[in-house]
Amino acid sequence: MNEISSFLVVALFFDAVADPHCPFSSTYFEPADVCLKEMYREDNFYVAESICELMGGQLPCVTSEGMNSFIANFPKDLYCAESSLPLWLGVYPNGGCTGGGSSQYSNYGNKTNQTKAVDPVLDCVFMNRSTQFWSHASCGDRAQFLCQLPVLKVNCPASWEFSLGGCYHVFHIKNGYPQSEALEYCVAIGKRFEVNATLASIHSEAENEIIFGLGQLTAYADIMWIGLQSSNNESLSWTDESAVDFNNLLSDGNNECSSDCCAVMNLGAQFLSPLNVSNGISRWNLVPCSKSTKASLFVCKVV
Ligand SMILES: *[C@@H]1O[C@H](CO)[C@@H](O)[C@H](O)[C@H]1NC(C)=O
Ligand SMILES: *[C@@H]1O[C@H](CO)[C@@H](O)[C@H](O)[C@H]1NC(C)=O
Ligand SMILES: *[C@@H]1O[C@H](CO)[C@@H](O)[C@H](O)[C@H]1NC(C)=O
Ligand SMILES: *[C@@H]1O[C@H](CO)[C@@H](O)[C@H](O)[C@H]1NC(C)=O
Ligand SMILES: *[C@@H]1O[C@H](CO)[C@@H](O)[C@H](O)[C@H]1NC(C)=O
Ligand SMILES: *[C@@H]1O[C@H](CO)[C@@H](O)[C@H](O)[C@H]1NC(C)=O
């Protein structure tokens, strides 16, 4: 092997697997088994929370003294050097976490110091980074925030998209790609990155939305292979052999197919002919597995 090609192999190897623990260069907080990311910006509570949700996370659900002080002392850049600025937390004024999860922990200091009655709907909880104490402010006020992100349970190749604890990539290869070739492609590209990949299985509305969004980014309003199949008219199965616990097939979805059926996700209606799916965007349809999809889109997932 000459010098240049061995360099390429090394480069590929290091490129292949991003930080195996935390997505988006976030920092691991071991006691709570979560990743935390400074967002270097301020916004109102609702925007802050939805930015965290877009990354598959939530505003921090603070569960302990240790986590509270970890967040307060989170490495700051110049923008955040003013440490007495407020920092939104993902907890409700009356307890519990806004993004799911519960916590008995709070750190309000002396409650007698509260200057006004708390509105459980319009008020949100912030932390003063320099005192580490919590207080309440109108949710519409602006504050800095960190996002709490789920730990990666799979290795996610660089340039693949990590979300909701999964790892996905949408491919657009060439005209006329039947499901079997898309499946083979996922497996092969996974091997190159030293991960096990296959056509994506989908287990929740949230995961469906993530994958739909990735498909839409390609700007092909076509159908996209996912990993659902139904050979010989038998029951449905995923190519990664996970449970079929979420079904987003249009009710009349199998009309186009009776045996050796594979599922596509509808990214847009205009190229769906001969399918006629009104309001079927982001829903699934069973089509013959041998169908050559027009834009040849498919979504792979690391399993
Ligand atoms: C945070 O606490 C410091 C010290 O008590 C105080 O000066 C500052 O005003 C507080 N900031 C907020 C946003 O309450
Ligand atoms: C509560 O008020 C007292 C007296 O004004 C003050 O010394 C103390 O620091 C305050 N505590 C908090 C948590 O703000
Ligand atoms: C709360 O009040 C008590 C009694 O006044 C005081 O000793 C304590 O330092 C106060 N704690 C805070 C966080 O202000
Ligand atoms: C891929 O799957 C094989 C067979 O199930 C397993 O032995 C191997 O550890 C998996 N590799 C990774 C990187 O998960
Ligand atoms: C497949 O199943 C559907 C619904 O159960 C049935 O209507 C259809 O005739 C079956 N097709 C074949 C080829 O068995
Ligand atoms: C699609 O189906 C709808 C409702 O069944 C029907 O009104 C419409 O004419 C169909 N469009 C095409 C292009 O077949």
- Nearest ligand by distance to the CA of 157: 4
Question: Would you say the CB of residue 96 lies under 6 angstroms from ligand 3?
Answer: no
Among candidates 115, 64, 55, 109, which has minimal Cα distance to 91? 64
What's the confidence (pLDDT) of residue 80?
Answer: 53
Among candidates 272, 267, 303, which has minimal Cα distance to 287? 272
Determine which of 35-39, 62-66, 269-273 has the lowest per-residue pLDDT on average.
269-273
The residue-averaged pLDDT of 146-165 equals 83
Q: Give one DSSP letter per residue of 189-237, joined into a string.
A: HHHHTTS-EEEPP--SHHHHHHHHHHHHHTT--SEEEEEEEEGGG---E
ω into 31 cis (within 30 of 0): no
pLDDT > 70: percent of the chain: 81
C-alpha 53, offset from chain centre: 8
Residue nearest to atom 10 of ligand 4 (CA): 196
Q: Evaluate if residue 4 carries a pLDDT over 60.
A: no
What's the confidence (pLDDT) of residue 278?
Answer: 54
Nearest-atom number in ligand 1 for the CA of 135 is 14
Question: Would you say the CB of residue 109 lies under 6 angstroms from ligand 3?
Answer: yes
What's the confidence (pLDDT) of residue 43?
Answer: 94
Nearest-atom number in ligand 4 for the CA of 194 is 13
Spatial CB neighbours of 45, under 8 Å, sequence gap ≥ 6: 59, 88, 124, 139, 140, 141, 143
- Nearest ligand by distance to the CA of 136: 1
Confidence tier at 5 by pLDDT (50, 70, 90):
very low
What's the confidence (pLDDT) of residue 15?
Answer: 31
Nearest-atom number in ligand 3 for the CA of 113 is 14
| Angstrom distance (rounded) from CA 254 to CA 284 | 10
Q: Evaluate if residue 77 carries a pLDDT over 70.
A: no
